[in-house]
């Protein structure tokens, strides 16, 4: 459990980091909290020659809230997301979801940027960001650009991020309506067997807007567009919720692992989605 040798860099601004990425190309990797990267380095599942630590770059740290616009620096830790009162007021689902990630030790170091950039379908933040319709700001040799979270994920560990690009920040609008993030896992510190996030607005028992996203139920997070289309504008009743749930499950495509076979995961997905829907509606 010892990684192969690498050179370590700690730039203090983004342009230095980007130019290091450019210089070393595929052999370089940025490190944030290290809680996804270090385990795979230790198992030598990846061979990184140049490791660029982002923790010295202040410009990509912290939470900025102006009115309903929320922007979170990539190097903001998960514990900061939990503890920030203003963020909790504006987007309480972030705390609810973050508290279900790993354990306090991991959250003390793990960052939102690392969590969403990693591309691991088991990570909770990518689904959450699709739920919030967040925008990722990236910077690379060819300058900066923005990508929607809903367009970012291509496959397990594959994203639309270019090798020399660094994620700077994540922004989204303060969501309104009821919300819930439901996750079933085997124990503290485990990734989801199945998880679902819901944000919903209901007026006179009619759904006026909704967002639903799933975690660890496919090789990318799943934004349940079909289910959203199905529920928006409709009168909420149990039958509708069952149909919406089923539509979400149909969009999922989990793989078997030690958590259980596909059939089980799909069944549990249905349970957590329905729970999330109900709890979000109760909270409207």
Ligand X SMILES: Cc1cc2nc3c(=O)[nH]c(=O)nc-3n(C[C@H](O)[C@H](O)[C@H](O)COP(=O)(O)OP(=O)(O)OC[C@H]3O[C@@H](n4cnc5c(N)ncnc54)[C@H](O)[C@@H]3O)c2cc1C
* Contact footprint for another protein (CB under 8 A): 1-2, 4-5, 43-44, 103, 184, 186-191, 193, 258-261, 264, 267-268, 271
In the region spanning residues 180 to 209, those forming contacts with ligand X, defined by CB under 6 A, are: 189, 191
- Pick what 216 binds: ligand X, another protein, none; C-beta below 5 to 8 Å, kind-dependent: none
Please tell me the distance from the alpha carbon of residue 191 to that of residue 19, in angstroms, as a whole number. 34
Cβ 206 to ligand X shortest distance, Å: 34
147 lies in the binding site for ligand X (CB under 6 A): no
- Pick what 29 binds: another protein, ligand X, none; C-beta below 5 to 8 Å, kind-dependent: ligand X
Q: Which of these segments, 120-128, 129-137, 169-177, 236-244, binds ligand X (CB under 6 A)?
A: 120-128
- Pick what 101 binds: another protein, ligand X, none; C-beta below 5 to 8 Å, kind-dependent: ligand X
Cβ 66 to ligand X shortest distance, Å: 22
Dihedral angle, C-alpha 111, 116, 69, 207, nearest 10 ° = -130
Compute CA distances 95 → 98, 100, 157, 254, 283, whole Å.
Answer: 5, 9, 25, 26, 15
- Pick what 131 binds: ligand X, another protein, none; C-beta below 5 to 8 Å, kind-dependent: none
Please tell me the distance from the alpha carbon of residue 82 to that of residue 175, in angstroms, as a whole number. 17
Per-position x/- string for 207-236, each x denoting binding to ligand X as judged by CB under 6 A, each - no binding: ------------------------------
190 φψ region: left (φ > 0), alpha (ψ -120 to 50), beta (else): beta
Q: Which one, 155 or 189, has the nearer CB to another protein?
A: 189
Cβ 122 to another protein shortest distance, Å: 10
Cβ 237 to ligand X shortest distance, Å: 33
Please tell me the distance from the alpha carbon of residue 13 to that of residue 18, in angstroms, as a whole number. 9
Q: Which two tokens stand for residue 59?
A: 């410009």
> Which position among 20, 102, 196, 231 is part of the footprint of ligand X (CB under 6 A)?
102
| Total chain residues near ligand X (CB under 6 A) | 28
- Pick what 7 binds: ligand X, another protein, none; C-beta below 5 to 8 Å, kind-dependent: none
Binding residues (CB under 6 A) for ligand X: these are 29-37, 54, 74, 101-102, 106, 110-111, 113-115, 117-118, 123-125, 166-167, 189, 191
């Amino acid at each position: 459990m010892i990684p192969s040798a690498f050179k370590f860099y700690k730039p203090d601004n983004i342009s230095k980091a980007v130019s290091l990425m450019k210089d070393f190309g595929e052999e370089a990797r940025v490190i944030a909290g290290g809680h996804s990267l270090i385990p795979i380095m230790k198992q030598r599942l990846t061979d990184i020659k140049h490791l660029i630590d982002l923790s010295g770059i202040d410009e990509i740290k912290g939470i900025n809230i102006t009115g309903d616009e929320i922007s979170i620096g990539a190097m903001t830790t998960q514990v900061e997301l939990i503890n920030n009162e203003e963020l909790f007021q504006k987007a309480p689902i972030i705390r609810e979801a973050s508290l279900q990630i790993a354990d306090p030790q991991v959250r003390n170091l793990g960052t939102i940027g690392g969590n969403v950039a990693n591309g691991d379908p088991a990570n909770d933040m990518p689904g959450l960001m699709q739920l919030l319709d967040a925008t990722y700001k990236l910077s690379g040799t060819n300058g900066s650009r923005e990508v929607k979270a809903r367009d970012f994920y291509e496959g397990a560990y594959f994203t639309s991020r270019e090798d020399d690009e660094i994620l700077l920040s994540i922004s989204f609008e303060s969501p309104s309506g009821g919300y819930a993030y439901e996750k079933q896992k085997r124990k503290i510190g485990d990734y989801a067997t199945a998880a679902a996030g819901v944000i919903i607005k209901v007026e006179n028992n009619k759904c006026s807007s909704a967002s639903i996203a799933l975690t660890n139920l496919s090789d990318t997070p799943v934004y349940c567009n079909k289910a959203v289309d199905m529920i928006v504008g409709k009168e909420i009743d149990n039958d509708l919720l069952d149909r919406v749930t089923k539509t979400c499950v149909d969009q999922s495509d989990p793989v078997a692992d030690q958590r259980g076979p596909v059939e089980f995961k799909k069944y549990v997905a249905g349970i957590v989605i329905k729970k999330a829907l109900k709890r979000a509606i109760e909270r409207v």
